[in-house]
Amino acid sequence: MSTPLEQLFEKTRAQNRAALIGYLPAGFPSQQGCIDALKAMVEGGVDAIEIGYPYSDPVMDGPVIQAAADTSLRNGTGAAEVMATLAEISKFAPSVVMTYWNPIEKYGVDNFLTDLKSNGGSGVITPDLTIEESEEWIAASTRHETNRIYVVAPSTSDLRLNRVTEATSGFVYAASLMGVTGTRTSISSGARTLVERLRGVTKLPIAVGLGVSTPEQAHEVAKYADGVIVGSAFIRLLQESSTPEEGLRKVRELAADLSKGCVRA
């Protein structure tokens, strides 16, 4: 039985568009504020949601997401809040959790996957988990029928791309450039090259993240990728808005514009 995430990519492929995936850390700007913002994204046209598990020592997050995660941690966000956010938003869109390995290990691998699935989660993105250290994770996520989403970068060798994609399900997260998350004025040409290399080793959907913030960039990525991941651009709108209502309106508007950009025609 396929997950809502896998069904989504089948649908968007048939519609000749890329799936738009929106990211926010749980608990930012507040617990309810995060849920409201994620709903606004879906109302605007976001197809799937990536909920960040805020962590004190991120290796992949740029300054915008780090600041949001700091706010979230100060708000007392932990596993219970992440799962509560997932339970609420998975009613409206396929949802995954992005988390570093340490919180999963602390929670207990089977406990984490049990609770993730019972709260409607379709998968987990693990940016710092290497394929060499994945034996327990692969076995457990297979038992729990949960998508394992690994992150690959332009520097990943062809041999390694093959190994990683063999263990991946749901979609492959292609980092558009070396470095950390954040909005960019342009998307690295390395993103297209990486996707082309991935096409040679896997039939899985490929979603590109790190840097997409405008409809024009989304449209460019949609020409060659199956999914477009946007995080920092949404977070910045919430950080810069003078009222929660203004933030939600801007998030909804950006989601609508990005969604139009994801259409390939």
Q: State the average pLDDT over residues 179-200.
A: 71
**Residues forming the active site:** 50, 61
Nearest-angstrom CA–CA distance, 69 and 65: 6
Q: What is the pLDDT of residue 183?
A: 45
Binned at pLDDT 50, 70 and 90, residue 65 comes out as confident
Q: What is the pLDDT of residues 217-249, one digit of tens each?
A: 999 999 999 999 999 999 999 999 999 999 999
Are the C-beta atoms of 223 and 10 separated by less than 8 Å?
A: no
Instruction: Spell out the residues 6+ positions from residue 66 whose beta carbon is closer than 8 angstroms to its own.
Output: 58
Nearest-angstrom CA–CA distance, 232 and 200: 30
Q: What is the pLDDT of residues 82-110, one digit of tens each?
A: 999 999 999 999 999 999 999 999 999 99
Q: Furthest-apart CA pair in the chain: how many Å?
A: 49
Q: Rounded to 5 degrees, what angle do the CA atoms 15, 20, 22 make? A: 160
Q: What is the pLDDT of residues 122-150, one digit of tens each?
A: 999 999 999 999 999 999 999 999 999 99
Examine the pLDDT at 184 and tell me if it is beyond 60.
Answer: no
Nearest-angstrom CA–CA distance, 216 and 232: 16
212 closest CA partner among 186, 240, 251, 193 = 186
Mean of pLDDT over the chain = 92
**DSSP character for 131?**
G
Q: In this structure, which topology does domain 4-261 adopt according to CATH?
A: TIM Barrel (3.20.20)
* Residue 209, both tokens: 């993240």
* Residue 51, both tokens: 């909920």
Binned at pLDDT 50, 70 and 90, residue 68 comes out as confident
Are the C-beta atoms of 121 and 139 separated by less than 8 Å?
A: no
Are the C-beta atoms of 188 and 156 separated by less than 8 Å?
A: no
Examine the pLDDT at 185 and tell me if it is beyond 60.
Answer: no
Residue type present at position 57: D
* Residue 265, both tokens: 């025609």
Q: Given the structure tokens 């405008």, which residue do they identify? A: 214
Q: State the average pLDDT over residues 178-205.
A: 75
Domain ranges (residues) in the chain: 4-261
